[in-house]
Amino acid sequence: MNPNGKYAAIADIPLTERKWPAAKITKAPLWCSVDLRDGNQALVNPMGIETKLAFFDMLVKVGFKEIEVGFPAASDTEYDFIRRLIEENRIPDDVTIQVLCQAREQLVRRTIECLKGAPKAIFHIYNSTSPAQRKYTFNKSKEEIKKIAIDGVKCIKSCLTEDERKKIRIEYSPESFSMTEIDYAVEICEAVKNEWGCSPDNKIILNLPTTVECSTPNVYADQIEYFSSHISNRDSVIISTHCHNDRGTGVASCELGLLAGADRVEGCLFGNGERTGNLDVVTVALNMFSQGIDPELDLRDIVSLGERYTDFTGMEIPPRT
């Protein structure tokens, strides 16, 4: 088998003096569970509203302070579940719900409608940025793709009153970040950041996913470090990881991403998700615990947690997890 002419290696990241190999993880990151959205959409039988409500309560008990609860513009079930959370006052004061939405006007408006009355929320907007997606999915230039992202943020702003905007934080994901030219990823995130506005007291979340894991974890660490050192107003930015597990190294990619400067981690409790899964949060948290670091998640009754997870999702936890 000869892959020449069919596959190309990931482009080198222009780092001449890497700092991440000498870094250490010394504290827990900000955690965001995506079990109710990314994890749920990968289930053979997605959870119904009552099961989702029980799963949400379980995540709160574990200690997650940010929970992605769904893609409300994608289905009535997602929308109705989120409305139940808001209308029944099920969201604790110290927990922020997060919703996902593509950078498309009709979807943005539907999502804003769903969030009415929420005490606070993270609006997670994304669009595709990799060369393959630009060429084959959208047939658009870099500038046109950047405009989609900017227009999406403008739409969010136009839908919010001044008081509502104070309750909404923005998260932006350049989908397929790991396969996007690194300087273009910085450029499009700069454009989104500048359009929304941010400050050290009102930080924007820039989420950098390995949408499809396509390289070794050290390459992802290089990408994170380069991005972290080239994005402006770094003190006004939270850099988030969202690692998938296509090559079986989602945990390593996440941990090296933290060494490289990431502040926040998105993942699923036991790593379920599309294809080979999302990052396994429990593994990363217990890896920290084994090194004397408080993961700031309550995993003392992990057996019961695993049993409830299996009941809710219908998925077995791999024996080696």
pLDDT for 16 beyond 80: yes
Q: What is the CATH number of domain 20-308?
A: 3.20.20.70
Please report which helix (H) or strand (E) contains residue 105, including its range. Answer: helix 105-114
- Cβ neighbors of 236 (< 8 A, separation 6 or more) are 193, 198, 199, 200, 202, 203, 204
Residue 294: its pLDDT value, please?
99
CA distance 97 to 41: 17
Residue 271: its pLDDT value, please?
94
Residue 269 near residue 298, CB atoms below 8 Å: no
Residue 185: its pLDDT value, please?
99
Residue 313: its pLDDT value, please?
96
Q: Give the three-state DSSP class for 31.
A: strand
pLDDT tens digits for range 97-116: 999 999 999 999 999 999 99
pLDDT tens digits for range 125-180: 999 999 999 999 999 999 999 999 999 999 999 999 999 999 999 999 999 999 99
Global pTM reads 0.97
Domain boundaries, the chain: 20-308
Band (pLDDT 50/70/90 cuts) for residue 209 is: very high
Residue 320: its pLDDT value, please?
67
CA distance 13 to 3: 22
Residue 191 near residue 154, CB atoms below 8 Å: no
- Cβ neighbors of 74 (< 8 A, separation 6 or more) are none
